[in-house]
A and B are shown apart, each in its own frame.
Chain A
Amino acid sequence: MSAPNERKPGMQVPTGREMPKADRLRPPEWPGGRSAEPAAGFRVIGRRNRRIEGAAKVTGRAVYTDDIALPRMLHAKVLRSIHAHARIVAIDASAALAMPGVHAVITGKDLPEYYGIIPWTQDEQALCETKARYVGDAIAAVAADTELLADEALRAIRVDYEPLHAVMDVETALAHPEWQVNEKSREGNVSKHVHLDFGDVDGALAASAVVVEGDYYYEGSTHTPIEPHCAIGDFDATGFLTLYSSTQVAHYLHRDLARVLGLPTQRIRVIQPVVGGAFGGKSEPFTLEFCAAKLSMLLGRPVKILYTREEVFYAHRGRHPMSMRYRTGLDRDGKLTGIDARIHIDGGAYSSFGLVTTYYSGQLLTAPYRMPAYRFDSTRVFTNKPCCGPKRGHGSVQPRFAFECQLDKLAEAAGIDPIELRRRNAMGENQRTVNGMRVTSNGFLDCLDAVERASAWSTKFRQLPYGRGVGVAGSMYISGTNYCIYPNEMPQAAVQLKLDRSGRATVFCGASEIGQGVESVLAYIVCEELGLTLGDVRVVAADTDLTPVDLGSYSSRETFMVGNACLDAARALRQKLAEALAHAWGCASAEVTLADGVACDMREPERHAMTVKEAFQLAESRFGTLGSVGWYQSPQLGGDYRGGTIGASPAYSFTAHVAEVACDPETGVVGVTKLWVAHDCGRALNPVAVEGQMEGSAYMGYAEALMEAQVYKPGTAAHGPGLHHGPSLLDYRIPTSLDTPEIESLIVESVDPEGPYGAKEAGEGPLHPSVPAIANAIYDALGIRCDRLPFDPPRVLKLLRDPEARARWERARAPRAEAAVVATPRRAPEP
């Protein structure tokens, strides 16, 4: 690995971030490890179990934040900027405050503290104090007796704006540093720049048999959970704040509330009620949480804020638009040589997770393929648009699209089947990537085999009639990051487990259930270890007063990290139970089994058996009150260079997709006939939940490929620039039950040595290949390369106007043998 060259003048370099210490806290080792199947087989793990909260959800009894009404509760609404970029000269709220039933108005001056999810880029305020940075930026909040009245009061607030130059795209942002969007930026409109260099990329490309160069554009999109954001602040008479919020990161919200409100963390409690979808869109603090809390502090009454659907589009933090240029080389054996990437990232008005996004845009490309030399240069810029952030597959979906299309082009140029090309370059297990990431379990080849077989690839590729085609793509993703967002050596996940004589087990954990099923995962693990049935376990989660810290639902970390914490807590108590039973029965602890509600001595089950509840009582008599803790901390991971820990994960998941499309060349409509999704999730703790994540991910990738676009209008005579194109679920098109293709899930289980029972992530990885697999299938169908998203009819029709398209389609179908030899190296021009 060559010396990384990341430091550039003017860029923001995180300080205080050091490599994890070598003597870092590590969880206990278990005889037989943490992934092995018990000798008698699994009782709960791997079964198609129900979810513990399923009955509440199908009866309408699950309580979401907006379902909560507290006594004396007021309602608040947020006033939003009508300009994309404007100085706030004055705000006059006197008319609003004079309205009967209006209780308070707050503005930026009331909440001046800057915050931000990443400690080094705290660059936003709950309410803009001096200027608004996008249409929809928050300016003021009103609390009133009813939501309707608060809404009317907003209209009575007068804001004097001084419009400024609005920066609507990356090119303008870079060309006009003087039109600075965010004053916290140290250099014009640059939010973050990362340049990392591994190996001799230029030499590798120059020596390649084939080099393909391509420009790609990935359109922005947003999460659109069906539940809009909602928060209730309740500041009580003792000076204690409780905040209910539809968040997926209660712990980080807790910290930022303390910072912005000026309250000590120990006087704040954050409770996450049931959350109606998040997908990354609720993974940092938002205006409503600070405003509901602040208004409650001012008024001494609970205050609720529920975003309208329109406001959810402004809160955003969705997929970053990225412009990407890739140069990729292949040698005569069809092996990757060098990869050179230049990426421009449109960040919107604030940083959000942008520092991480910028790293991820390069750092997460280096598996599942072996790459001898790799370089990326990524720049995130500020623009006057709603802030982008982490959407499912944070930062790596866009480069994965570009790269997997590059591979398809290389395969064609080299005359190699694209699945074979991927197979030939697969890195395998127990490897280190070119950027220093440790890859352990790796089921990628099995994923490729699975989709190849299930899709009948060999009978379809380059053989279907004009308009129909198949495409393949692969990917990898992290199972959690190896570092907390703010540096510390405390555990990343923790569980406290309580058992008592009632026979019930209660799991206390900061984990955030957002629909993926993490609370059920905790229950399955406890049942498996203690021989309980699902109804015997309660999970208390994401309540900062009651539950030990977990960092939250992001970066696909929950199953791996809280799962491991829970496994340790459960095994610690299992040992105690076994010891008490062994003592009573005069056998060895190892001979005690706990399964299906019964404890017995395996040698003499007829004589030595009791219910697990009785076993709890026996153990409580012997050891006193029963409780245990478990926690997870990842090992020291990553490359030895600045930024080398970003992208490092204790385990990586792998995915392969085949997409089949049926396109109409007359209308440009691309129909996806079917998606075959194979995903290596380590071990499927519950196959139903894993399939649900695979199907939901593939659907979301499909949606981005063909339909979704979070875009803004240019200025006209009637309005300035930056109006959202259509902030509603009618205008922002997400797939309905009629649009969504058939999806077939193929679970691949590589059994990771460090995952709980061998499990890895499944929630984000399976999104990645959807987009390039569809793009590659469109090429197979029509001979056109969709290098820009979305692949909607106007784009497809425009590409079909190329008179060469049909000839390309026919050439691609020429007998393989003619194209199979890489004869003359094709070089891309030097940059």
Chain B
Amino acid sequence: MDHVNPTTTTICRLDVNGDTRECAVTPSTTLLEALRYGLGLTGSKQGCDKGDCGACTVVVDGVPVLACISLALAHHDGGAITTVEGLAATDGLTPLQDAFDVTGGAQCGFCTPGILMSAHALLERSPDPSLAEIAHALSGNLCRCTGYTKIFEAVLRAARARREAVGTGGAKS
């Protein structure tokens, strides 16, 4: 593209939570805007709009991505996007979500969707993470309520529950 009209609206086709969804975007529309305002997936949050806080984190092909500094069109017909709404099947909570609920890992809950996505990506690639690995994986997600203590506890608990579930032929995170 050698010339882009910044106000021209085009259709963006996204692979989100296992569905193919379309919405109208301009070249400057961010992935976060497309998800929240175009597709009504308001679970992903905007805390800074600059990639500083991590509240907008989604997972694309297994990798955490900051949706507020990604262009929607860059994901047109692109990789598989998972948002917080896509973590669980309709009938309940994943072990990760359940662990956050039980341990008090979510207080105001605004950073929670982004933290869940970073933690989900971590557990998918590293089923038995150390505390240091967890702290590293979540270092791009700011939480202002918890002091992270209960978030670490939640991720450790979820990792344990997932391993046990795998051992008994069970569920994903």
* Chain B 20-43 near chain A by CB (<8 Å), digits 1 or 0: 000000001000000011000111
Chain A residues within an 8 Å CB radius of B42: 60, 63-64, 66-67
Give the nearest-CB partner of A687 in chain B.
B104
The segment from B72-80, B136-144, B160-168 that touches chain A is B136-144
B110-A277 in contact (CB<8A): yes
Bound Cα distance A66, B88 (Å): 23
Give the nearest-CB partner of B7 in chain A.
A148
Bound Cα distance A50, B50 (Å): 33
A279-B116 in contact (CB<8A): no
B102-A50 in contact (CB<8A): yes
Bound Cα distance A382, B44 (Å): 39
CB of B65 within 8 A of chain A? no
Name the one of B45, B87, B105 contacting A59, with C-beta atoms under 8 angstroms.
B87
| Closest beta carbon of chain B to A58's beta carbon, Å | 4
Name the one of B44, B103, B108 contacting A277, with C-beta atoms under 8 angstroms.
B108
A66-B146 in contact (CB<8A): no
A59-B93 in contact (CB<8A): yes
Instruction: With A226-B110, A695-B149, A737-B141 as known contacts, state yes or no: A51 contacts B104, CB within 8 Å.
Output: yes
* Chain A 49-74 near chain B by CB (<8 Å), digits 1 or 0: 01101111111111110110100000
CB of A225 within 8 A of chain B? yes
A728-B50 in contact (CB<8A): yes
B147-A59 in contact (CB<8A): no
Chain A residues within an 8 Å CB radius of B45: 64, 226-227, 276
CB of B12 within 8 A of chain A? no
B135-A58 in contact (CB<8A): no
Name the one of A225, A308, A696 contacting B110, with C-beta atoms under 8 angstroms.
A225
B47-A737 in contact (CB<8A): no
B110-A692 in contact (CB<8A): no
Bound Cα distance A515, B102 (Å): 15
B48-A729 in contact (CB<8A): yes
Instruction: With A277-B145, A737-B138 as known contacts, state yes or no: A60 contacts B108, CB within 8 Å.
Output: no
Name the one of B87, B93, B151 contacting A737, with C-beta atoms under 8 angstroms.
B151
CB of B124 within 8 A of chain A? no
Give the nearest-CB partner of A278 in chain B.
B108
CB of A673 within 8 A of chain B? no
Bound Cα distance A279, B145 (Å): 9
Instruction: With A66-B46, A226-B55 as known contacts, state yes or no: A50 contacts B146, CB within 8 Å.
Output: no
Bound Cα distance A56, B140 (Å): 23
Bound Cα distance A274, B112 (Å): 13
A277-B144 in contact (CB<8A): yes
| Closest beta carbon of chain A to B91's beta carbon, Å | 12
CB of A736 within 8 A of chain B? yes
Give the nearest-CB partner of A281 in chain B.
B144
Chain A residues within an 8 Å CB radius of B43: 59-61
A227-B110 in contact (CB<8A): yes
Chain A residues within an 8 Å CB radius of B152: 737
B147-A60 in contact (CB<8A): no
Bound Cα distance A66, B44 (Å): 11
Name the one of B101, B140, B150 contacting A50, with C-beta atoms under 8 angstroms.
B101
Bound Cα distance A55, B143 (Å): 18
A692-B142 in contact (CB<8A): no
CB of A115 within 8 A of chain B? no
| Closest beta carbon of chain B to A273's beta carbon, Å | 11
CB of B111 within 8 A of chain A? yes
B107-A308 in contact (CB<8A): no
Query: Which positions 279-313 of chain A face chain B at CB distance < 8 Å?
Result: 279, 306, 308-309
Bound Cα distance A820, B62 (Å): 63
Bound Cα distance A738, B147 (Å): 11
Instruction: With A63-B42, A515-B108 as known contacts, state yes or no: A698 contacts B147, CB within 8 Å.
Output: yes
B145-A60 in contact (CB<8A): no
CB of A497 within 8 A of chain B? no
Chain B residues within an 8 Å CB radius of A738: 135-136, 139
Name the one of B55, B101, B107 contacting A692, with C-beta atoms under 8 angstroms.
B107
Name the one of A308, A740, A743, A745 contacting B49, with C-beta atoms under 8 angstroms.
A308
Name the one of B83, B102, B113, B142 contacting A736, with C-beta atoms under 8 angstroms.
B142
Bound Cα distance A700, B49 (Å): 23
Bound Cα distance A730, B42 (Å): 24
CB of B106 within 8 A of chain A? yes
Chain B residues within an 8 Å CB radius of A515: 107-109, 145
CB of B14 within 8 A of chain A? no
Give the nearest-CB partner of B113 in chain A.
A60
Bound Cα distance A278, B144 (Å): 9
A60-B107 in contact (CB<8A): no
| Closest beta carbon of chain B to A314's beta carbon, Å | 15
Bound Cα distance A696, B108 (Å): 11
CB of A579 within 8 A of chain B? no
Chain B residues within an 8 Å CB radius of A148: 28
Give the nearest-CB partner of B85 in chain A.
A60
A58-B107 in contact (CB<8A): no
CB of A691 within 8 A of chain B? yes
| Closest beta carbon of chain B to A655's beta carbon, Å | 15
CB of B61 within 8 A of chain A? no
Chain A residues within an 8 Å CB radius of B113: 60
Name the one of B28, B100, B108, B146 contacting A58, with C-beta atoms under 8 angstroms.
B100
Bound Cα distance A356, B130 (Å): 46
Instruction: With A226-B45, A692-B146, A737-B151 as known contacts, state yes or no: A516 contacts B107, CB within 8 Å.
Output: yes
B144-A226 in contact (CB<8A): yes
| Closest beta carbon of chain A to B134's beta carbon, Å | 8
B101-A55 in contact (CB<8A): yes
* Chain B 56-97 near chain A by CB (<8 Å), digits 1 or 0: 000000000000000000000000000111011000010001
Bound Cα distance A697, B107 (Å): 13
Bound Cα distance A278, B110 (Å): 11
Name the one of A227, A516, A730, A737 contacting B50, with C-beta atoms under 8 angstroms.
A730
A729-B52 in contact (CB<8A): yes
* Chain A 503-518 near chain B by CB (<8 Å), digits 1 or 0: 0000000000011110
Name the one of B103, B105, B110, B144 contacting A734, with C-beta atoms under 8 angstroms.
B144
A276-B141 in contact (CB<8A): no
CB of B53 within 8 A of chain A? yes
Instruction: With A226-B143, A729-B47 as known contacts, state yes or no: A59 contacts B88, CB within 8 Å.
Output: yes
Chain A residues within an 8 Å CB radius of B101: 50-51, 54-55, 57-58
Chain A residues within an 8 Å CB radius of B145: 277, 515, 692, 696
Instruction: With A60-B83, A274-B109 as known contacts, state yes or no: A691 contacts B150, CB within 8 Å.
Output: yes
B148-A737 in contact (CB<8A): yes
Chain A residues within an 8 Å CB radius of B148: 699, 737, 740
Name the one of B83, B84, B136, B146 contacting A695, with C-beta atoms under 8 angstroms.
B146
Chain B residues within an 8 Å CB radius of A745: 149
CB of A275 within 8 A of chain B? yes
* Chain A 131-173 near chain B by CB (<8 Å), digits 1 or 0: 0000000000000000010000000000000000000000000
* Chain A 714-758 near chain B by CB (<8 Å), digits 1 or 0: 000000000000001110001011101011010000000000000
B110-A729 in contact (CB<8A): no
Chain A residues within an 8 Å CB radius of B47: 226-228, 276, 309, 729
Instruction: With A50-B101, A64-B110, A737-B135 as known contacts, state yes or no: A309 contacts B48, CB within 8 Å.
Output: yes
A59-B108 in contact (CB<8A): no
Chain A residues within an 8 Å CB radius of B88: 59
B112-A57 in contact (CB<8A): yes
| Closest beta carbon of chain A to B94's beta carbon, Å | 9
A696-B147 in contact (CB<8A): yes
Task: Give the top 3 A-B pairs by smallest Cβ distance, nearest first.
Answer: A60-B43, A276-B110, A515-B108
6 additional contacts (CB under 8 A) given A223-B144, A274-B108:
A60-B85, A62-B109, A64-B42, A691-B104, A729-B48, A730-B50
B residues near A (Cβ < 8 Å) are 28, 36-37, 41-50, 52-53, 55, 83-85, 87-88, 93, 97-98, 100-113, 116, 134-136, 138-152
27 contacts between A and B (CB under 8 A): A55-B101, A56-B109, A57-B109, A59-B87, A59-B93, A60-B41, A60-B43, A60-B84, A60-B113, A61-B85, A64-B42, A225-B110, A226-B142, A227-B108, A228-B47, A276-B45, A277-B145, A308-B49, A309-B47, A688-B150, A692-B145, A695-B149, A696-B144, A699-B148, A728-B50, A737-B136, A742-B149
